[in-house]
Amino acid sequence: MNIAERKKIWAEKVAKSLAKRGERMAEFNTSSNIEFERCFTPGFDYPGYEEQLGLPGEYPYTRGVQPTMYRGQFWTMRQYAGFGTAKESNERYKYLLSAGQTGLSVAFDLPTQMGYDSDHGMSQGEVGKVGVAIDSLADMEILFGGIPLDKVSTSMTINSTAAILLCMYIAVAEKQGVSAEKISGTIQNDILKEYMARGTYIYPPKESMRIITDIFAYCKDNVPKWNTISISGYHIREAGSSAVQEVAFTLADGIAYVDAAIKAGLDVDEFAPRLAFFFNSHNNLLEEVAKFRAARRMWSKIMTERFGAKDPKSQMLRFHTQTAGCTLTAQQPDNNIMRVTMQALAAVLGGTQSLHTNSRDEALALPTEDSVRIALRTQQVIAYESGVADSVDPLAGSFLVESLTDQIEKAATEYIEKIDTLGGAVEAISRGFQQKEIQDSAYAYQKSIEKDELIIVGVNKFTVKEPPPTGLLKVKEEVEISQKASLAKMKGGRDEAAVKASLVKLAEVAKGKENLMPYILDSVKTYATLGEIADVFRGVFGKHTETVVL
């Protein structure tokens, strides 16, 4: 079948998709009334065009996972937020939704991420600082109070305690009268990148992988609209990796999760359609666009050739993007608005399904309301005013972009092959391979800045004298006192016998092979705290000790 015939079939798919929403197939015009196609297929002799590029919504998905892409609907505008108490964060979510945000994204504080309650000694000084403090179902009820969970999609950036937070979310939805089958969203639930790049792990890899595959199996049957993992390259890049390493190490982690789920008895096409990914977007616009396109193509090949996935949804790499926090500067923070705009544009041109744009003041403090509004408006201006969303994969056919896409795929594939020879992602992490590669990359990047080989505007060139920053958002120390008091009050009013019985049963199940999720949910509903549940697993599974990379 030649490209003209394939394009005709593709156009029929688009027409059907639009007809479902009462829309019609249409071309689009520039401000000069120049007409251009919804999906431009360049008439040039690009080697392997049909195999490597194809059409949007078709294998190997280089050009996007949907035939209509943003002409069908824009990406989800999902601003990452959370700080202080559940009440304060709830107010911020409602503000963002009123400003036009189309999905929630929850940031949790470090104690919540590490499985400690706010009254634990390890939590001192960190309660509510980098995200919202969640100790129990009572906090979760406040966090989503007045927000209809059957209408809003929620992403939760949580890993070691992801199963607990998901169960709390399910329980809150049930209290709203919304069944688990109707809720939608994502938990990050990507523990492997924690071992190599971020550090908020609790349990050893084997036990952590069991929890993850239990989530896959439980959600397949009970929470079918939920994305059970967001395999994250974001934090790998924030730790200092290159674009190629970000793709390679992320997809290698994805391979490990798929392997683990299959070994746990799941069929690949039962769980793979709910896998999602999470990438960083940096300043080099064209490299970032090519990175996203290469990652999509690589994953489709991995799923079909390596795992035999037959469902097209199992072959699609769907991803959320966040602009690069590590590129934001405390110097001349308004420059960060331009950086974020470029990074967001790269994500859109690369075909992201969901996007968070960082705020200008995040190198200094948590973002203020004014700053998050500007960040959200950045996405809205790109969507409604730039014209880049009018055509699917508008940079397709650029010799530079296609060449970069091919080269990133080649280099990332070589990394994955190296990881395979080491025994896979888990074994390679245990040997410190990825950690060492990331550290070397981060060192080289920093040296290039110090030598003025890489210019950072306002840092090593075009500097100015600046007054101390003002008007920053700071989490007050009173938040910790208040959270501890709320936790004590909740514990005083719960049924302690029910809590103890649920935790004893959970420990018993953790020692066996039964799926943990129903028992975590039972414990959550008794108002057992996040820390108490995590302590059960610490007692059964033990704690992970970090690999030292020399």
pTM of the model: 0.92
> Where residue 283 sits, what CATH number does that domain have?
3.20.20.240
Average pLDDT over residues 457-478: 92
Greatest C-alpha distance within the chain: 73
Average pLDDT over residues 207-222: 96
**533, part of any domain:** no
Q: Alpha-carbon torsion 62, 159, 512, 545, what sign?
A: positive
pLDDT at 269: 97
**504, part of any domain:** no
**415, part of any domain:** yes
Average pLDDT over residues 164-171: 98
pLDDT at 47: 57
pLDDT at 294 over 70: yes
**136, part of any domain:** yes
**Which pLDDT tens digit goes with each residue over 94-109?**
999 999 998 899 999 9
pLDDT at 44: 45
Phi, psi at 281, each rounded to 5°? -130, 120
Supply the range of the domain harboring residue 116. 52-65+72-450
**300, part of any domain:** yes
pLDDT at 22: 59
Q: What's the domain count of the chain? A: 1
Token readout for 393 is 């994969």
**397, part of any domain:** yes
Give dist(CA 199, CA 531) in Å, integer.
18
Among 35-44, 111-120, 140-149, 329-338, the least confident range: 35-44
- Amino acid letter for position 49: Y
**494, part of any domain:** no
**Which pLDDT tens digit goes with each residue over 220-256?**
999 999 999 999 999 999 999 999 999 999 999 999 9
Give dist(CA 219, CA 276) in Å, integer.
14
**211, part of any domain:** yes
Instruction: Give the strands of the sheet with 154-157, arranged side by side.
Output: 226-227, 185-187, 154-157, 103-107, 76-81, 354-356, 319-323, 275-281, 229-232
- Amino acid letter for position 378: T
